[in-house]
Homo-oligomer: A and B are copies of this chain.
Amino acid sequence: MSFFRPNVDQIQGYVPGEQPQETGWIKLNTNENPYPPSPRVIEALERAIRGRLNVYPDPLGTAFRSAVARVFNVEPDWVLPANGSDENLTILIRSFIDPGELVVYPYPSYILYETLVDLQGGRHERMYLRSDWTWDPEVRDERLRDAKLAIVPNPNSPSGNRWGDDEILKLIPPSGLLVLDEAYGDFADTPHRAELLRGDQGERIIVTRTLSKSYSLAGIRMGFAIAHPDLIAGMRKMKDSYNCDALALAAGTAAIEDQEWMQQNAAKIRATRARLTTALESMQFQVVPSQANFVWATHETVPHQWIYEQLKARRILVRFMRFAGVPWAKGEELSGLRISIGTDEETDRFVAALREILAAAPQ
């Protein structure tokens, strides 16, 4: 006999990308930043670990919220810190979705959204994207009609493409809210700074951000949401009192305050992204023009899973992904490789290994 809620029993749970805990891997599978965090982060942590770890952290994350507010040109009460962007997504779904209510999201995209909705007992539907990763207006508007939340990553994953503001504003459900998951926002050529929130429809949009990617702090778990204060105040009820610990708050504040460090790394990643794209195209991969810290590459003839396994045998991890039910894909299943942008050296070693592998590919 199970005491679990039926929807908990039924779901599999989300499986994150492989995380080997030993060194020696070239890890291009979970979109981590290959560069270390700002030295100011380490200095802040050095102070914090010698501070008062025996007392509770600031439940409101006051210093962190002020730092974010300065960068995004909003007031601190527009900011909700969280234990990674994952926690903010959970808070959002728990705040707005009663059992049976509808969440829509683009597809192919980040399937964690479906798991989170299933755990809450909501419904989810997919807004199928076209093969060039643009919106089908008819599908989009039909799905949005009954949605309480639309969750849209921009740039999208796995494709890495980014939709313009005009397209984004069309994604606000007529009776609901748009969650703009900007996990990869800082890698775009022209990153957002909450401009949409200050526009006419700003009260209907919630932006989520993470420090895992652009700020090189995946190990720390720090994210934040930005939205109008009424929305933030309601969401705050849903969070644990002390959801962000003293070290994450110290590290996160220092990271946000060192914009120059983040921007320099983002610029390096954009440059490597261009080199990697060229190299992949020279090997007959199709590569979606990326505004993120990864690229989505598909090969016409060589099986993606085989490439993934050959790379893994050489201790290089990329993400082999399969999306079922994609109308325009061969056999209605889209498969491909999502390759995170590493350092130039990692990228060179990856490209060299890939050339060898393709040369030996079964015909």
In the assembled complex, the CB of A360 is this many whole angstroms from the nearest CB of chain B, namely 30
Contacts of A177 in B (CB 8 A): 3
B54 touches A219 (CB 8 A): yes
Which residues from 1 to 44 on chain A have a C-beta closer than 8 Å to any C-beta of chain B?
2-6, 8-9, 11-14, 16, 19, 21, 23, 27, 30, 32-37, 41-42
> Of B9, B46, B247, which contacts A220 at CB under 8 A?
B247
> Of B6, B21, B54, B247, which contacts A37 at CB under 8 A?
B54
Q: Mark A50-84, 1 if CB is under 8 A from B, else 0.
A: 11111111110010000000000000000000011
A21 touches B240 (CB 8 A): no
Interface residues on A, range: 35 or more
Stretch at the interface among A123-131, A210-218, A327-335: A210-218
Contacts of A59 in B (CB 8 A): 16, 19
Each complex incorporates copies of this chain amounting to: 2
State whether the Cβ of A303 lies closer than 8 Å to any Cβ in chain B.
Answer: no
Contacts of A238 in B (CB 8 A): 8, 119
A30 touches B56 (CB 8 A): yes
Whether A221 touches B234, Cβ cut-off 8 Å, given contacts A58-B21, A176-B3, is no
Stretch at the interface among A89-97, A138-146, A183-191, A281-289: A89-97
Contacts of A12 in B (CB 8 A): 237
B218 touches A55 (CB 8 A): yes
Contacts of A46 in B (CB 8 A): 49
Contacts of A243 in B (CB 8 A): 83, 86-87, 221
Q: How far, in angstroms, from A63 to B202 measured CA to CA in the complex?
A: 44
Q: Which residue of B lies closest to A119 (CB)?
A: B238
State whether the Cβ of A151 lies closer than 8 Å to any Cβ in chain B.
Answer: no
A86 touches B212 (CB 8 A): no
State whether the Cβ of A195 lies closer than 8 Å to any Cβ in chain B.
Answer: no
B217 touches A53 (CB 8 A): yes
Whether A96 touches B56, Cβ cut-off 8 Å, given contacts A219-B245, A245-B248, is no
Q: Which residue of B lies closest to A60 (CB)?
A: B19
B4 touches A241 (CB 8 A): no
Q: How far, in angstroms, from A57 to B222 measured CA to CA in the complex?
A: 13
List 6 A-B pairs, minimum CB-CB distance, nearest first. A13-B237, A219-B246, A221-B245, A54-B216, A86-B240, A53-B219
